[in-house]
Amino acid sequence: MAVHVWGLVAIIMFYLLIFILGIWAARKNKKKGKEATSEDILLAGRNIGVYLGIFTMTATWVDGALISGVAEGIYTSGLSSLSMPLGYCMSTILAAFFVKKMRKGNHVTMLDPFNRRFGKIMTGFLFLPAFTGDIFWCAATLSSLGTTLTVVVGFDHWIAITLSTAVVLIYTLFGGLYSVSYTDVMQMLFIFVGLWLAIPFAMSNPLMTPLSETTEKWVRTFPNHDISTYIDILLQIMMGGIPWQVMWQRVLGMKTTRLAEVMVYAGAAGFAVCTIPPLLIGMVAVSVGTTLTVVVGFDHWIAITLSTAVVLIYTLFGGLYSVSYTDVMQILFLFVGLWLAIPFAMSNPLMTSLSETTEKWLL
């Protein structure tokens, strides 16, 4: 297993920052001379402020599964793959209508109202789909994280997943939701700034075909008989996103009901904004793939994987400095290569003299 040393150093530094911040938040929230209650662990003592709440609500939806999924979905299926972020964004807005009722009951978990209404046995049955959904969600997030670390650092999948899970479990066990909320802030800053910084470099890639010329490939359409299926999936995601414990944990942990409502709406807006960078990356992937497929004869997936890996690795190692130097070499290759191609193009035996086609190329 070949490990990229500087990439590994960067990941270790990031994980240390997350771990230290999580432990600091746990110590900050610890009450002197008093054992922490279940509300302190699960709901951060119902003391989350509006800004911290907005960050952690946005981070609840924006994870590796969303970023990787949207980019890959745009490449493989076009804009129709936006059903997931669109559906979950709308489900968050719909959930805002239930905030007052949930807060008024002073509930600790999403299932408390069902427990009071139907009893423990029925609540136990309702717990199963909620638990299963969270298990699959965690698996998707950890899998996408493992894929990213495999490409950037060179880790095996299982190492990346085990390491990430251990770090998160330790600081969560120490500080509960309070630690998770503070680490969400740092993670969201890294994700938001990092993704938007990557867009200019991706859009200026010399191998990229202009987006206007590849519109059909990243927009795409689906047959009429699939529209009903698409609507069904969208409604399933919208309604299925409302009864999600992770979201309601944030809602119930806010200081006031009013702040909880603001957090939900602002979190939905943040979710929508954070969907834009992976959307653009997917569009760029289609355009870059088109260029390499025509010039080299690569399959689309080989072209995209190769280009993405190369750009990510040298950008992570050296940032703008590396990008600037590689730009110099790329410009030299482009300039010399294009001028070298002119004599071969002009001497093509199938070519009609330029003087005889003046009307066509002057138009």
Residue 2, CB half-sphere, CA atoms under 13 Å: how many? 2
Domain parsing of the chain, residue ranges: 5-321
Q: Mean pLDDT, the chain, as a whole number?
A: 75
DSSP string, 214-253: SHHHHH----GGGHHHHHHHHHHHHHHHSS-HHHHHHHHH
Tokens 């809602």 found at: 251
Give residues with Cβ within 8 angstroms of 88, minimum separation 6: 61, 237, 238, 241, 271
Q: What is the pLDDT of residue 321?
A: 46
Residue 88 near residue 271, CB atoms below 8 Å: yes
- Residue that is written with structure tokens 């427990």 in the block: 115
Q: How far is residue 226 CA from its own chain's centroid?
A: 26
Tens digit of each residue's pLDDT (9 = 90 or more) over 36-61: 666 767 787 788 888 888 888 888 88
Residue 254: strand pairing partners? 48
Number of Cβ within a 10 Å radius of residue 123: 17
Q: What is the pTM of this model?
A: 0.68
Give residue 262's pLDDT: 92
| pLDDT tens-digit readout, 168-192 | 777 677 667 767 777 777 777 877 8
